[in-house]
Structure 1
């Protein structure tokens, strides 16, 4: 069913069969699954942030090595033959650049934050972020990663997320009025905070007592279950339901299959 209030987010495909894929960002991360008992997945702020945008998945496995600070100072090892939209050393200083095969369009007044995949840990490289005026620009943009160590090969695997796309309203940040106030300025909030502090201290103390309720629970779950320390309901945001990119005349099957592959791999 079409949402009459929905906002169009269009990826104009400049070439076919490039290997790059667009998917909603999933809630899981491999390093989070690898924590003891997948403990990191209990942190709702992390899980919700993981899903806050769409990912462009790498179309090819690429190896990169930072040799010098010159413009061509990164050795990039591609498959043979090299893909059309390959990673290159363009800016120097150990920066690897992907020329992405899409031209994006957002509604008037919305720009696109192009950032590294949220909570995606990459050994040897850090993603560089940019904001693109995709409501009016007629040019493409690049995704750039800064290598952090010289003379070391860094691998970007096929299907690995290259960047995260987050539309945001232009001028929204400027509307905020930041201020610093003592907690006593909001008596109800101050009382709730004091109650939470006591509950937290009691839970941590009981956690070391064999057979205690805290030890059986393993962790406090008020936030996850949608309640404050005072017992008031506060429904948490646990999942984001982002639409998939679709093609004219088709349903979401193709995008859904790619999304499922990404979720299983990462």
Structure 2
């Protein structure tokens, strides 16, 4: 299976596998957020498209294109090929520089980098039918208040992952009482009791609990009953795009 990334021009923003680390996660004592495996896995489940230049966005709060000003530390003439205020009302449009093609039924989910909050601006998310689209899509961000926001060169301005989205309509969600699944009830109760016991021991300062500090059932792909998940991942290693002539 291939994700084809066609550069529209000879020079285009770099595309790299998503990184699992985040500066705000590193800043915690003992890198505490990394205990939440779903966070770091989501961070790396896709590819980042990186800013080719520094971009400063200045918005006065007005609704017009002219109310958004874009500046760079490099050549100002290069800004137009990368960013503009196409949608107005505090929305900035970034050009990916690529036309993406996917296998039939698969599309590209494009958004900001997961779990990468940016003060003053929020990513707008799109789902694109890249199995037929003969033109590129853009990445849009909406300023949340008047002021200035800076994207640095090498910072991800877009994050793409793939979705077999047409099959979503085949899914039939079912909501039911948990007691209709006795096996799941037993597993849930084992987790609940284990969690309550561990938290009690931790609160009381028990040596073993203090040394362990947190339960690692999900991290180890292990149920409280001791059973192991058949498939479990703690790392995501996506391939970088290779240059094809």
Is TM-score (shorter-chain normalized) higher than 0.5? Answer: yes
Q: Does the residue aligned with 1:104 lie in a helix, a strand or coil?
A: strand
CA distance in 2, matches of 1:183, 1:170: 28
Equivalenced residues, count: 241
Q: Does the residue aligned with 1:146 lie in a helix, a strand or coil?
A: strand
> Which residue in the other structure is 1:12 paired with?
6
> Which residue in the other structure is 1:181 paired with?
176
Does the CA-based 8 Å contact 2:106-2:166 persist in structure 1? no
> Which residue in the other structure is 1:32 paired with?
25
Moved more, 231-240 or 90-99: 231-240
Residue 213, structure 1, aligned to residue 177, structure 2: no
Q: Does the residue aligned with 2:157 lie in a helix, a strand or coil?
A: strand
Residue 74, structure 1, aligned to residue 65, structure 2: no
Moved more, 78-87 or 46-55: 78-87
Deviations along 1:118-169, one digit per CA (max 9) or x if unpaired, are 111111110001111111111111110001111x110011111111111111
Q: Which of residues 117, 133, 158 is equivalent to 2:129? A: 133
Q: Does the residue aligned with 2:77 lie in a helix, a strand or coil?
A: coil
> Which residue in the other structure is 1:112 paired with?
108
Q: Which of residues 33, 40, 45 is equivalent to 1:47? A: 40
Taking only aligned residues, the RMSD between alpha carbons, in angstroms, comes to 1.4
Q: Which of residues 146, 153, 159 is equivalent to 1:158? A: 153
CA distance in 2, matches of 1:144, 1:172: 26
CA distance in 2, matches of 1:77, 1:113: 28
Q: Does the residue aligned with 1:143 lie in a helix, a strand or coil?
A: strand
TM-score, scaled to structure 1: 0.87
> Which residue in the other structure is 1:241 paired with?
237
Does the CA-based 8 Å contact 1:209-1:215 persist in structure 2? no
TM-score, scaled to structure 2: 0.94
Does the CA-based 8 Å contact 1:86-1:98 persist in structure 2? yes
Where does structure 1 lack aligned partners over 5 or more consecutive residues?
Answer: 1-6, 250-266
CA distance in 1, matches of 2:226, 2:82: 54
CA distance in 2, matches of 1:122, 1:66: 15
Deviation at 1:209, TM superposition (A): 2.4
Q: Does the residue aligned with 1:82 lie in a helix, a strand or coil?
A: helix
> Which residue in the other structure is 1:231 paired with?
226
Does the CA-based 8 Å contact 1:73-1:89 persist in structure 2? no
Does the CA-based 8 Å contact 1:12-1:104 persist in structure 2? yes
Deviation at 1:82, TM superposition (A): 2.7
CA distance in 2, matches of 1:239, 1:49: 10
Does the CA-based 8 Å contact 2:102-2:130 persist in structure 1? yes
Q: Which of residues 43, 58, 61 is equivalent to 1:65? A: 58
CA distance in 2, matches of 1:211, 1:240: 35
Deviation at 1:211, TM superposition (A): 4.2
